[in-house]
């Protein structure tokens, strides 16, 4: 067993929560089986968070938690992965190992304006016609969140670190995404990380990534120190 290893910080995606993204999908049980402790973190405007609803508050709350617990392993999905990557790029030693789920080269497309249609849809009381936006509307509601607060976080959420900023990440990283995820591929993202591997899930889209058992297996093995995925950047 791995009881001597640090806690595993779990940061959920947009519209979800620790309970919805990690507890219900079995991640906490998987980690418990590996004798690991799951550490909860809810993004502002989500779950049980009491932090002000903005991106700066998200980072401040996360860094405050890290100050309390010290170095951890961390797993983030989508918006949670963006937040973790930003902290990893500027806070050496924060993470022993870092798993980024549902992210790829697409996180640099569009810029802040790309978030506005989704934010507006979340603030709408009725379902919108666009099926992709409608999924996020229903996700926020099913997770017990206030869609308007989720929209407020989205509008101020941290932007993804650039490839140059990613070069400062000082821990091994695993990028996991489905081959049907429009945010992929992850070639540029993985190349920007000094020590990265990539695991691609066949037949999996964005929303199904974190609940996929193959994803859970890849991450559990990575956190245990096993070699998984394929090399993210060529040897120099």
Domains of the chain and any CATH numbers: 8-231 (3.40.50.1820)
Q: How confident is the model at residue 3 (pLDDT cuts 50, 70, 90)?
A: low
Are 160 and 108 within 8 A, CB to CB? yes
Task: Give the pairing of strands 95-101 and 72-77.
Answer: parallel
pLDDT of 111: 65
Check the CA dihedral 102-158-19-95 and report its sign. positive
Mean pLDDT of 162-188: 96
Here the tokens at position 133 are 């936006």
Which conformational region is residue 62 in: left (phi greater than 0), alpha (psi within -120 to 50 degrees), or beta?
A: alpha
pTM above 0.75, yes or no: yes
Q: Is the preceding omega at residue 185 within 30 degrees of 0, hence cis?
A: yes
Question: Which residues contact residue 1 at a Cβ distance below 8 angstroms, ignoring those fewer than 6 apart?
Answer: 34, 35
In this predicted structure, the answer to whether residue 219 has a pLDDT above a threshold of 80 is yes
Here the tokens at position 5 are 């290893």
Mean pLDDT of 98-117: 87
CB atoms closer than 10 angstroms to residue 179: 12
Q: What does the longest C-alpha to C-alpha distance in the chain come to?
A: 53
């Amino acid at each position: 067993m791995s009881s001597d290893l640090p806690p595993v910080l779990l940061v959920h995606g947009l519209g979800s929560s620790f309970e919805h993204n990690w507890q219900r999908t079995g991640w906490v049980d998987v980690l418990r089986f590996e004798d690991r402790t799951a550490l909860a973190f809810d993004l502002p405007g989500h779950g049980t968070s009491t932090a002000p609803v903005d991106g700066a508050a998200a980072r401040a709350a996360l860094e405050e938690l890290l100050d309390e617990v010290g170095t951890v392993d961390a797993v983030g999905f989508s918006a949670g992965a963006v937040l973790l990557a930003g902290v990893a790029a500027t806070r050496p030693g924060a993470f022993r190992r870092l798993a980024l789920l549902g992210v790829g080269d697409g996180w640099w497309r569009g810029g802040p304006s790309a978030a506005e249609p989704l934010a507006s849809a979340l603030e709408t009381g009725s379902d919108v016609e666009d099926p992709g936006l409608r999924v996020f509307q229903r996700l926020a509601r099913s997770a017990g969140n206030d869609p308007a607060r989720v929209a407020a976080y989205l509008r101020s959420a941290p932007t993804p670190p650039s490839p140059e900023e990613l070069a400062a990440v000082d821990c091994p990283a695993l990028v996991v995404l489905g081959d049907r995820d429009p945010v992929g591929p992850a070639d540029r993202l993985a190349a920007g990380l000094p020590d990265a591997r990539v695991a691609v899930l066949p037949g999996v889209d964005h929303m199904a990534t974190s609940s996929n058992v193959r994803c859970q297996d890849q991450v559990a093995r990575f956190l245990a120190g096993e070699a998984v995925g394929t090399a993210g950047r060529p040897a120099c």
